[in-house]
Amino acid sequence: MNRLEEIRKLINNILIEGNTSEEKSGVFAHLYGVSNTCSLIALKRGLNVELCAIIGMLHDISTYKTHYTPDHGTLGAIEAEKILEEIKLFNKEEIEIICSAISKHSNKNSVDNEYDEVLKDADVLQHYLYNTSFEVSEKEKNRLSKILSELGIVSSI
């Protein structure tokens, strides 16, 4: 059984049921974009690519399920933990890694463990890549500059 594909199926069902047709393309683009970017960064840093991809798929689950964004990292970690325990494909340590990254991903100014940092960097990079002509927030500029440099990309953001 491919755990990433199982998570994708679950997420797809949640997104299809809970979002209007106008929202769906942006929601899918963001979650799959962050998931793929997490995979890229995990490869670069020598981390577990599967776990990082799953972290990316689940990171905004609370927002897209409830349409409530305040404290969505903490709420998302709670929701992700419920999902992961219910499907019984992950051990306790893996669930802790996934939920930690989700709970901390909104605090882009802090530095946390290596998996937490993958998600923060992937989220920022995906926001930027969605449309590079959009203004990069002050909150994300420093982190974006560092991840682009790590990937060998010269940019003047």
Looking at residue 108, which CATH number applies to its domain? Answer: 1.10.3210.10
In a domain, 140, yes or no: yes
In a domain, 84, yes or no: yes
As for how many domains the chain has, the answer is 1
Half-sphere exposure of 62 (CA within 13 A, CB side): 21
pLDDT, greater one: 33 or 67: 33
Has residue 25 got a pLDDT over 80? no
In a domain, 24, yes or no: yes
pLDDT score, position 70: 82
How far apart are alpha carbons 134 and 29 in whole angstroms? 16
In a domain, 135, yes or no: yes
Domain with 74 in it: 3-150
Has residue 63 got a pLDDT over 70? yes
Mean pLDDT within 111-132: 94
Cα 129–20–39 angle (5° rounding)? 35
pLDDT score, position 46: 98
In a domain, 156, yes or no: no
- Most confident stretch, 47-51, 69-73, 102-106, 138-142: 47-51
The 10 Å CB-count burial string (b at 16+, else e) for 112-135 is eeebbbbbbbbbbbbbbeeeeeee
Tell me what the pLDDT averaged over the chain comes to. 91
In a domain, 157, yes or no: no
4-13, 19-28, 47-56, 102-111: least confidently modelled range: 19-28
In a domain, 27, yes or no: yes
Whether the model pTM is above 0.85 = yes
pLDDT band at residue 55 using 50, 70 and 90 as cut-offs: very high
